[in-house]
């Protein structure tokens, strides 16, 4: 018989707690950096942060959907690079730009569909499948660009990076719009409930009559589409596409998504939490740059945070066991 009654938090309460903590962390980072650097809170710097985080925010939304469904996707950065590379290459070949945009977006859907096919039809682990497609797609990008930076895009397309609506960058507003659509999809639709159910327990979802394989195809294709949009946003922001675009994205995005409360085992997650995780990461990176610190330390910190987030339950369990042993 237990001497103490343990309070168990529901998934909704737990997620709200994570969002609250993340929100406070972001506020704390802003306050600290505003004291350390007088230029941090300027309008130009803050809007630059919002613009820079646009493509990784889109990737975070995509990864959140996949993780909630019980899957995994390491190919997000490569899909982003493929979208931009195809966009530039096809435009140089003389294809009308509106068709180029459609083909660039379809490339993301195609890679997502390939991931789903390999996971569903061959019953392979998503981690292995997307690790392989990440390498394959990245090699295709290198083959398309041949090691050069491609900057031949229509000026009207690139000038979207200078568009502001109510003094907010258009690129960030696209992220907000996408996030709202996906939140509604996950929270207010039958498909969203199926995605959560499949992530929580795929076998139970299947026995309940959910077409699990169809949902997997939908999730990976949707993820690929969002990643392709991220590639276009990246191209607009830097006014070019580079072969190594998004090469570090899996580590950065997955860290932010897990920090945001999305479970690596599936069935639990929040788009808003993922975006708050991305925001915290970019605020820190921006602070590092303003203070003249080496930005590579940011990647090291992200790696340490990822280890803690993934293994926190085991870490806390080990600490409790040690305290129990010491108290005897």
Output the domain CATH number for residue 226.
Answer: 1.10.3470
> What pLDDT does residue 96 have?
93
Return phi, psi of residue 38, to 5°: -65, -20
Indicate the DSSP class of residue 122: S
> What pLDDT does residue 6 have?
41
Residue 140 lies in a domain: yes
State the CB neighbour count (10 A cutoff) for residue 47: 15
> What pLDDT does residue 76 have?
95
> What pLDDT does residue 38 have?
84
> What pLDDT does residue 137 have?
95
> What pLDDT does residue 299 have?
67
> What pLDDT does residue 15 have?
72
> What pLDDT does residue 328 have?
65
Q: How many domains does the structure of the chain reveal? A: 1
Residue 3 lies in a domain: no
> What pLDDT does residue 10 have?
54
Give the Cα separation of 214 and 112 in Å (integer).
13
* Residues 6 or more apart in contact with residue 29 via CB below 8 angstroms: 280, 283, 284, 287
Residue 6 lies in a domain: no
Residue 4 lies in a domain: no
Whole-structure pTM value? 0.88
Chain centroid to CA 118: 22
Q: Which two tokens stand for residue 112?
A: 């997502």
Asked if residues 37 and 290 have their Cβ atoms less than 8 Å apart, the reply is yes
Give the Cα separation of 178 and 263 in Å (integer).
21
Residue 211 lies in a domain: yes
Residue 188 lies in a domain: yes
> What pLDDT does residue 198 have?
93
- Report, as ranges of residue numbers, the positions in the chain whose pLDDT lies below 50: 1-8
Residue 93 lies in a domain: yes
Residue 311 lies in a domain: yes
Q: Which domain holds residue 293?
A: 11-30+41-327
């Amino acid at each position: 018989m237990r001497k103490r009654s343990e309070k168990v938090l529901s998934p909704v309460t737990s997620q709200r707690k994570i969002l609250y903590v993340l929100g406070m962390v972001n506020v704390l980072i802003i306050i600290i950096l505003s004291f350390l650097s007088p230029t941090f809170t300027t309008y130009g710097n803050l809007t630059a942060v919002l613009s820079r985080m646009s493509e990784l925010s889109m990737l975070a939304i995509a990864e959140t959907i996949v993780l909630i469904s019980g899957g995994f996707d390491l190919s997000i950065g490569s899909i982003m690079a493929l979208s931009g590379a195809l966009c530039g290459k096809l435009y140089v070949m003389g294809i009308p730009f509106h068709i180029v945009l459609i083909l660039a977006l379809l490339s993301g859907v195609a890679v997502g569909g390939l991931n789903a096919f390999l996971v569903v039809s061959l019953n392979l682990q998503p981690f292995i499948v997307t690790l392989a497609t990440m390498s394959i797609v990245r090699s295709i990008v290198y083959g398309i660009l041949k090691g050069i930076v491609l900057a031949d895009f229509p000026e009207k397309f690139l000038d979207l990076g200078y568009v502001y609506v109510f003094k907010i960058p258009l690129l960030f507003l696209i992220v907000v719009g996408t996030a709202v659509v996906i939140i509604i999809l996950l929270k207010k639709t039958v498909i969203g409930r199926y995605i959560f159910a499949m992530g929580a327990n795929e076998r139970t979802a299947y026995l309940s009559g959910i077409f699990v394989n169809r949902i997997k195809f939908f999730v990976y294709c949707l993820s690929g589409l969002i990643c392709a949009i991220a590639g276009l946003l990246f191209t607009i922001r830097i006014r070019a596409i580079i072969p190594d675009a998004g090469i570090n994205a899996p580590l950065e995005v997955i860290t932010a998504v897990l920090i945001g409360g999305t479970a690596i085992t599936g069935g639990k997650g929040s788009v808003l939490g993922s975006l708050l995780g991305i925001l915290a990461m970019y605020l820190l990176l921006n602070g590092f740059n303003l203070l003249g610190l080496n930005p590579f330390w940011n990647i090291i910190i992200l790696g340490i945070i990822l280890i803690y987030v993934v293994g926190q339950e085991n870490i806390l369990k080990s600490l409790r066991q040690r305290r129990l042993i010491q108290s005897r």
